[in-house]
Each structure stands twice: as structure tokens, then as C-alpha cells.
Structure 1
Amino acid sequence: MSARPGIYVTAEEYLAAEREAEFKSEYYDGEVFAMSGASRAHNLLVSNLITGLGNRLGDTCNVFPSDMRVHIPANGLYTFPDVSVVCGEEQYLDDAHLDTLLNPVVLLEVISISTGKNDRGSKFMFYKSIASLQHYVLVDSQRVVVGMHSRTSDGAWLYQEVEGLATTLLLPALNVALPLAELYRKVALPS
């Protein structure tokens, strides 16, 4: 992501421009950040996540790809997670567009060398203020490792990792188990 320096943009201006734009941008604190494209591995991992979760959840929840914007009112961030899951009644920004989700239960990001630091650090700091969020999942695109932050009953966050094709990612908030062999299907990883 990169910002346009020196130009303050209101959230309303950002949303109006974003809805007409040919490419996606994120917004935070008056700045608009263009999003870069994704690699083959990234796209396959996102596709496998959407398929795996969608098939397991059926009609109980909705799984959205990265075109669903998420807004975090507590800190003002507008962002496009790689995959968002919402269960129950969906809540959107108070407008007629239904393109800015407010209450995801699970957010998933596929991380690369260039995005890993941001996804592990500042994005998690922003995401954890979403009251409905139960799991924040980080899928590594360079090796078979998935990390997950989970909200505990007392509001704290617990981090755990699963590694290797023989393991399974458990998402208790969704009552879903996703085998990493399925998640990394067809993904060619660096040796």
C-alpha cells in the first residue's frame, strides 16, 4: 500500500471515489492507500479458503472475498481483508450500498514477504477492536503455516499456529475444521 502524500481525504470522499474506482484502496486517518495485486499462490490460497469455508458453513454464515470492504468504527479504518466471514444478521455501514461490512466473525489474510509485517502487526491491532471478531487468521503463502488469534471469553487474545499438510485449522467460532492439505491444494511453495 502507498498513500498519496499531503492530501487529506474525508471518509465520505473516500467511499464516493472508491465506489467508482477501477482498483481498490484502503483508508485510514485521512489517507488513501492503493492496494497492490496478488500472486498466484495468494489467489489460490484465497480461493481455497473461500471454497473450504463456504462448503462447510452452508447457509449458516456468509463468506466474502476481498471485494467486501470492512469498516472498523473504533479506529476509522476501511480495509479489504482477503476473506471475511459473517454469521447471523449482517451489519453494514449506514447507507444503501451494502458494500461495507461492520460485524465479521472471522477475518483471514494471506501473508507474503511484503505484507507479513503489516498483517501480523498493525492490521491485527486494528482488527481486534471489532466487537464481533472471534478469529483473525494469517495464512502464510511461503510455507505451510497458519497462525490464528482467537478472542477468549474474558476478551483477551490467544495466538496459536498449525504447521504442515497433515494438520488442521480449527475455527471454534464457526464450528469448522479446515485441513491444511486442502487449504494449500495446488499451491507451489518456494523450496
Structure 2
Amino acid sequence: MEGEGAKKYYSISDYLELESNSEQKHEFRDGIIIAMSGGTIPHNLLGGNVFYSLRDKKKKGCTVFNSDQRVYFDELNHYVYPDISVVCGDLEISGKDEHAIINPVLIVEVLSDATAAYDRGEKFRKYRSLPSFKEYLLIDQEQPIVDTLFREDGKFWRMQTIIGLGKKVPVYSLDIEISMDDIYLNIPGLKEPQFKLDL
């Protein structure tokens, strides 16, 4: 819906009505509705692999959601669909939308050429506005590379990059590790990473 002359602004009610009747998902960015493109085969497989890895190892009391789950940022008036989100403890639901959560502790995004800059930049800033949000995993779909960003002391973020198969990715917010081999299981066209050492 972008790029078609002057932007039209919509209410949240307009957006939620559209979502309830649409087979395609859309983000809502403070009045702007943006259609989401479908993922590639590697993107979809990676999302599934990470979902099952987290679900199988998660702590008791944590719930893992796939990319159909909406997350709402009340402070920013935005809705997004992360590739994976995890809530620990009670689910907190948006007062404006009974199908949107507002308290994910962990969010995972599978990167693509089209979305990598947004996922690393503006979208990460949005996620940081959520008080519950503690950890962000960014999955490269072309090479076995995973970036983890973890909130320390409630304010500072620590970044770690895991490179190559045969290694473990620490998920600090859940106190678990997941295998790079499990994340990249059966991913077609996977390339050798340019860097060999974790950063």
C-alpha cells in the first residue's frame, strides 16, 4: 500500500477490520498500513526450525509463537508480526486488540535483503520500547550466522555473533542453548560464512 501517491492514514479499527478479512498480513505503523510479502523457502524453513528448537527447550511457563502472532506497541501505535516471539509468565493482551500480545521477552527475525536494515534498525528500536523485551535473535538465511542482542541491567545491550555450524547459540532470556545445526537443518543453498570466528 506504499508508493501509490499520497499516503492514506487509517485508524486502528480500519486496520483490524482489514486483518480480519485478509489472507495477507499487514503491519500498522501509526496510521500507515503496509502489506507484508511472503517469505522465501529458506526463510520459512528457518522460522520453523527455530520455533521447534525454542519450543522443545523453553522454560516452564514460557509460550512460543510463530509469525501469525501480532505484537502491539501502545506507545508507538504500531502492530508488527515477528517471525517468532516468546512470552514468559502470563500473556498480556492489548486492550485495543484481543489477538495482539504486548509482553514478549524474546523476539526472533529471519533476515532478508529487503528487511535486514529495517530489522536491525527501526524495528529493533520499536521492540526496545516494550518493557518486557530482553533479547533479540537475528538469523541470516544465506549463511550460518546468528546475531544475539541481550539487554543487560535493564539498559545496556550486549551483542554476540555466532558463526558456523557445530556451535551453540545462547538464549539468555530462556537460560537455554539451541544448536546452529538445528537452526540450519535442511536449508537449501546455504553458503559458507565469510567469517569463521565468533564475534
* TM-score, with structure 1 as normaliser: 0.93
2:180 corresponds to 1:189: no
Please report the RMSD computed on the Cα atoms of aligned residues, expressed in angstroms.
1.6
Equivalent residue number for residue 164 of structure 2? 164
- Tell me the equivalent position of 1:145: 145
Partner Cα distance (1:66, 1:3) in 2: 25
Given that 2:62 and 2:86 are in contact with CA atoms closer than 8 Å, whether structure 1 keeps it comes out as yes
Distance 1:188 1:159 in 2: 27
Tell me by how many angstroms 1:59 deviates: 4.3
Cα deviations by residue, 1:95-120 (Å, 9 ceiling, x for unpaired): 5x631010000000000111111111
Shift in CA distance, 103/50, structure 1 to aligned 2, threshold 3 Å: same
Structure 2 equivalent of residue 116 of structure 1: 116
For 1:111 and 1:2, locate their aligned partners in 2 and report how far apart those are by CA, in whole Å. 21
CA shift at 1:67, angstroms? 0.5
SS at match of 2:94: coil
Q: Find the counterpart in structure 2 of residue 103 from structure 1.
A: 103
Determine helix, strand or coil for the equivalent of 2:21: coil
**Residue 22 of structure 1: SS of its match in structure 2?**
coil
Mapped pair 1:133 → 2:146: no
Q: Is the 8 A contact 1:27 1:79 kept in 2?
A: yes
The residue aligned with 2:58 is 57
Which ranges of 4 or more aligned residues in structure 1 deviate by more than 3 Å? Answer: 1-5
The question of 1:94 aligning with 2:95 is answered yes
Question: What do the CA deviations read for 1:53-110 (whole angstroms, capped 9, x no partner)?
Answer: 0011264211101100001112121000000000100001125x63101000000000
Residue-pair matches, total: 190
Distance in 2, Cα, partners of 1:12 & 1:156: 36
In the superposition, relative to structure 1, how do residues 57 and 154 fare at CA in structure 2: closer, same or farther (>3 Å)?
A: closer
Alpha-carbon separation, structure 2, partners of 1:75 and 1:29:
7
* 1:3, distance to aligned residue in structure 2 (A): 6.2
Unaligned segments of structure 2, at least 5 residues: 192-199
Is the CA contact (8 Å cut-off) linking 1:3 and 1:31 kept in structure 2? no
For the 8 Å contact 1:71–1:79, the answer to whether it is kept is yes
2: distance between equivalents of 1:35 and 1:2? 11
> Could you tell me how far apart the structure 1 residues matched to 2:40 and 2:178 are?
22
Instruction: Report the CA distance between 1:167 and its aligned residue.
Output: 1.6
Matched, 1:18 2:19: yes
Where do residues 2-13 of structure 1 align in structure 2 (5 Å cutoff)? 2=2, 5-13=6-14
- Counterparts of 2:63 and 2:73, CA distance in 1: 19
Whether the 8 Å CA contact 1:3–1:33 is kept in 2: the answer is no
Distance 1:17 1:112, change over 3 A: same
Deviation at 1:2?
3.9
2:81, 2:119 → 1: CA distance?
A: 12
The alignment partner of 1:50 has SS state of helix
8 Å CA contact 1:134–1:150 kept in 2: the answer is yes
Sequence identity percentage:
32
